[in-house]
Amino acid sequence: MLKMEADKEILNLKPITAEMNILSRSDGSVIITQGDSSCIVNVNGPTEVVSMANMDMNKAYMEVSYRPRCGIPGVNERYKEKIIKNICETVILTALYPKSQINIQIQEMDDGSGIFACVINACNVALLNSGIEMRSTMAAVHCVLDDKDNLIIDPIDYSDDTPTFSRIQKAVRNSKYKADFTFVFESLKESVISVNTNGNFTIHQYNNAQKLCKEASKKIFEFYCDLARKYANVI
């Protein structure tokens, strides 16, 4: 019933490379490239709370700052910050760090397709690197629905538009697909902890996308294991 005739099953993810500890002044940092997207994330914390208004007696306060590749951060970036903050609060054991603050800084470097998934994966690796206690790890997978109703996992999309810092031009990008999904899974029960969608799709397509992304997320969890194994060798 979930089967769709024109559906392609491509569990290919774009090549991921990551390097931890690239910034000496941060508690945890990572540079990650995922196909045509890349970003640097650094995590600092737990530190004292900068503004007393944000102090929480029961858990750590999270602050996320997202810097776009070019131009000043605007509404889009605030929106992404909010989502990332929510996701991170889900996976971090914030109750272990009361009256303190955890800062996550994200610098987008190549904003190709699936940059948001790339950023979330980078946040996860940076958090692992920083040694902040986490409930589980998380993996984000990007998936699009093209004009022929095919679901494509993590498409390679060489956009030919030139870099611009005006927000209006940024917003009209990525209109070549019917819809795109970014699913975030946690590692314990492999359940969805966040979904971010754009465009029009049916519930079947959504379910299919989720199913595909869940399969693909296993590869990312494997990648985390690989990464941890390599670093554990040296440390």
Task: Build a one-symbol-per-residue string for 197-226: x at contacts with another protein by CB under 8 A, - elsewhere.
Answer: -----------x--xx--x---x--xx--x
Within positions 125 to 164, which residues make up the interface with another protein, using CB under 8 A?
A: 148, 150, 152, 160-164
Which among 61, 11, 13 has a CA at the least distance from the CA of 223?
Answer: 13
Q: Which is nearer to another protein, 57 or 208 (CB)?
A: 208
Distances (CA, A) of 218 to 110, 135, 211, 230: 25, 18, 11, 19
Pick from 47, 15, 14, 52: which is nearest to 28 by CA?
47
Positions in 23-82 near another protein (CB under 8 A): 23-26, 29, 31, 33, 36, 38, 40, 42, 44, 63, 65, 67, 69-72
Residue 17 interacting with another protein (CB under 8 A):
yes
Burial track 122-150 (b if 16+ CB lie within 10 A, e otherwise): bbbbbbbbbebebebbbbbbbbbbbeebe
Please report whether residue 107 would count as binding another protein according to CB under 8 A: yes
Note whether 167 binds another protein by CB under 8 A.
no
CB of 172 to another protein, least distance (A): 14
Residue 189 binds another protein, judged by CB under 8 A: no
